[in-house]
Amino acid sequence: MLKQVQHDWLPLGLLLLAACNRSDDGDIERRRPIACLLPGQGSFQTACTLERIPSPDGPVLVARGPDGGFRRLLVVKDGRGVIAADGAEPVAVKPSGGRGIDVAAGGVVYRLPARIVP
């Protein structure tokens, strides 16, 4: 059974991620490396990137694979963590050992930082 992602911790975790991506002049850097599981691979590798972009609906995360493909994810505060920000294909979210969440989208699993609460 999947544990719920506590809604008030996930945005904080992602906020901390965004703080790590700020340059000295306050601009958000374009991309931060993250682990992902690519189709046909047996283990996670730091081969993908993540960027955080503000939007009127809330923070949008853009997870990119090494082939240039990407998924836009909207951070939500209802316990799900993130949802697909666009497109018809939903994403699957599950805890990743207490250190984050795994977000499956389009054959790629992106490992995002988040605090999981039982």
User: 3 lies in a domain?
Assistant: no
User: 13 lies in a domain?
Assistant: yes
pLDDT (tens digit, 0 to 9) for every residue of the chain, 118 residues total?
A: 333 333 333 443 433 333 344 444 444 457 899 999 999 999 999 999 999 999 999 999 999 999 999 999 999 988 888 999 987 789 999 998 777 999 999 899 999 988 766 6
Whole-number pLDDT of residue 88: 74
What is the spatial distance between Cα 106 and Cα 99, in angstroms, rounded to a whole number? 23
Looking at the structure of the chain, the number of domains it has is 1
Structural domain for 108, as ranges = 9-113
Contacts of 22 (CB under 8 A, 6+ apart): 28, 29
User: 118 lies in a domain?
Assistant: no
User: 52 lies in a domain?
Assistant: yes
In this structure, how many other beta carbons lie within 10 angstroms of the beta carbon of residue 112? 25
User: 61 lies in a domain?
Assistant: yes
